[in-house]
Chain A
Amino acid sequence: MSKKVAFLQGNEAAAHGALYAGCNFFGGYPITPSTEVAEVMSAELPKVGGKFIQMEDEIGAMAAVLGASLAGSKALTSTSGPGLSLKQELIGYGCIAEIPCVVYNVMRGGPSTGMPTGPSQSDVMCAKWGTHGDHPAICLTPASVQETYEEVIRAFNLSEKYRTPVMVMPDEIVAHMRERIVFPEPGEVEVVPRKSPTVTPEQYKPYDVSFGDVPPLASFGSGYKFHVTGLNKMQDGFPTTKAEIVQAEEERQVRKVDANIDDIVQFEEYQLADAEVVVVAYGSTSRSARYAVNVAREQGIKAGMFRIKTFWPFPDKQIKALAAKVKGFIVPEMNLGMCALEIERNAQGKAPILGIFRVDGEPINPDQILEKIKEVK
């Protein structure tokens, strides 16, 4: 049987990926350039008995998503830079209360209103450092329409597996371009269900670490009664200021991601085997990078690309290994050097880093990247 094929926009693919993953709640607020996700969800969710709500603001949308998730839904919100800034406090709430959900954020120019229709990659640091306090961060940066679909499914899986909010951050080019997409059959791609409690309601504690770093989450209205707060909490969910408990719980929350980096981090190695010059790219920029690497190879330059798919946690191990053997890194990105700082942190001076940083709302061309590749001696 031939698979279903369509010609879709990145944002539309994101919505369909969410539906494949079993998303049954969407809470959103209109914002360019991510609104198409809300539009598709408003049409598709009720067909499968799911719920769509357009909230009064970005903060309310994030709150509704967290509330719905606690009541057992797989919940999604979509936004863009200014909305992401507004949602940050509650993203932190999701981290400390350990509520699975997916935040799909299309990167446009910023700060503030910036360039609402212009592409950007300047929210990647916001994904990790936007909310205050120490917390786990998972952020995926897809580079095509197909990958946006797949990464939204993976985001739902990771959010359930690690019981934490997960972000998917395409840049505006990926979100708005149209490409061929091949839909997987039902059951073809793994969909991770929520780890439900195996104990009775009387025995249940929402942060019971005897079940490991990711304790099972019951849902409101399923026979289980429990307390959830944004305060530092004990295993039973009630607030505490006891030093040793706060320290242990904070460390556990971060460890959920840090101890599972190999399970979470995905990347693509393109022409890396003998590469002397490595372009590190993500999102739509990686498409220009791939072209530049191909042209460089034709011209006899040993170039390759390390494409970041999981931006957070950052692929530290892989970049460290590359830094030990390459002549230099090229880092093209639509910001003033965010990923470049992470490469610098990992390269530890072992390889030079040449950045191509654009914040003018224009994509980075293959020519620009090729030029930089040639600069590495």
Chain B
Amino acid sequence: MAFDYDKWIRPGKLPHIWCPGCGHGIVMKGLIRAMETLQLKKEDTAIVSGIGCASRLPGYIDCCTLHTAHGRAAAFATGVKMAKPEMNVILVGGDGDGTAIGGNHFIHACRRNIDMTYIIMNNYIYGMTGGQFSPCTPTGAKASTTPYGNPDPGFDIAKLAIGAGATFVARGTAFHANQIDKLIAEAIQHKGFSVVEILDDCPTTYGRRNKYKSVIEMMNRLKEVAVPVKAAEKMTAEQLQGKVLTGVLYKEEKANYTDEYAKVIERAKAAK
């Protein structure tokens, strides 16, 4: 039997705003499958986003959904999680929203290891505003604000998350659709701050400026650059040149923030 996505989609809210060929819908379906696998309760699940194309995702899903301001998803979500630690809190957004304007909240959510899952759809561009370069745009690439090629070096989101203290970091791609739900499900189950970066595509504002002839070509690139972490172990540095590791990149068991704060409450009450 085909998977029933409708169970999780809000009636009357489709079609979505995403362009034909955009990978965000693939990620949304992955998230839905993950929530179904884990049998999450909709009313106990908050999906929080910032601003941008990817941040429109929560509106389509039948949970407690919060579409915040640009870059602020992690900070709003921190308030939700602190107030209701028993809730599942899932953040979604794009690379610009999460690592530029929201960069500070992102690294501090990692540092606190607060038990939330952050799904970052990295399409290397600010899509909603028409294709300006983001902190993840590759050096040399064309964007509407880098007409002569991007002079900036880009972020490696996974390394940033690991360096900042996230205790579960994974990467997938929009091409490897069947892996997305598994990575997200494992991330949600992980106790602590988990980051799932999904390499995505924006044919409308990135592809056409960077000589991709079609969406298929963009998807094929994702297929070609992705190397599962296990496979990478057997590859030489030369073979790994230009490749991107996928799968679970980092996992660590460590005290999480709301559990630690519960201890603060115990200590305060004992001292009263």
Contact = CB atoms under 8 A, between A and B. Distances in A.
Contacts of A229: 59, 66-67
Interface stretch (A60-68, A147-155, A302-310): A60-68
A285 B104 CA distance: 39
B42 A68 contact: no
B44 A27 contact: no
A179 interface: no
A22 to B, nearest CB: 13
A53 to B, nearest CB: 6
Given A93-B68, A225-B64, A238-B59, A64 B268 contact: no
B82 A223 contact: no
A70 interface: yes
B77 interface: yes
Contact of A63 (B58, B59, B72): B72
A300 interface: no
B79 A89 contact: no
B78 A221 contact: no
A6 to B, nearest CB: 17
Contacts of A187: none
Interface stretch (A71-79, A161-169, A241-249, A251-259): A71-79
Chain B interface category by residue count: 35 or more
Given A60-B104, A66-B79, A75-B79, A227 B58 contact: yes
Interface string A23-67: 001010000000000000001001101010101110111011111
Contacts of A225: 42-43, 62-65
B87 interface: yes
A122 B105 CA distance: 30
B97 to A, nearest CB: 13
Given A67-B78, A220-B46, A227-B59, A51 B84 contact: no
A72 B43 CA distance: 14
A90 interface: yes
Interface string B96-131: 000000001101100000000000000000000000
A224 interface: yes
Contacts of B267: 46
Interface in B12-56: 13, 42-44, 46, 48
A295 interface: no
B212 interface: no
A42 to B, nearest CB: 9
B269 A47 contact: yes
Contact of B105 (A47, A56, A66): A56
A69 B79 CA distance: 8
B142 to A, nearest CB: 30
A59 B50 CA distance: 13
B261 interface: yes
Nearest to B270: A47
Contacts of A25: 79, 82-83
Interface in B236-272: 261, 264-265, 267-269, 271-272
B70 to A, nearest CB: 8
A223 B80 CA distance: 15
B75 interface: yes
Contacts of A130: none
Given A51-B261, A63-B75, A238-B13, A221 B87 contact: yes
A229 B83 CA distance: 19
A201 B64 CA distance: 11
Interface of A: 25, 27, 43, 46-47, 49, 51, 53, 55-57, 59-61, 63-73, 75, 89-90, 93, 201, 220-231, 238-239
10 shortest A-B CB distances, which residue pairs? A67-B79, A63-B75, A46-B268, A64-B79, A71-B83, A68-B79, A67-B76, A60-B75, A56-B108, A221-B84
26 contacts: A25-B79, A46-B268, A46-B269, A47-B271, A51-B82, A51-B83, A53-B79, A56-B75, A56-B108, A60-B72, A60-B78, A63-B72, A63-B76, A65-B79, A67-B68, A68-B79, A68-B82, A71-B79, A71-B83, A71-B87, A220-B64, A221-B84, A225-B42, A225-B62, A230-B69, A231-B67
Given A57-B104, A221-B46, A229-B59, 8 more contacts: A49-B269, A59-B72, A68-B82, A73-B83, A90-B72, A223-B43, A227-B10, A228-B66
Interface of B: 10, 13, 42-44, 46, 48, 58-59, 62-69, 72, 75-80, 82-84, 86-87, 104-105, 107-108, 261, 264-265, 267-269, 271-272
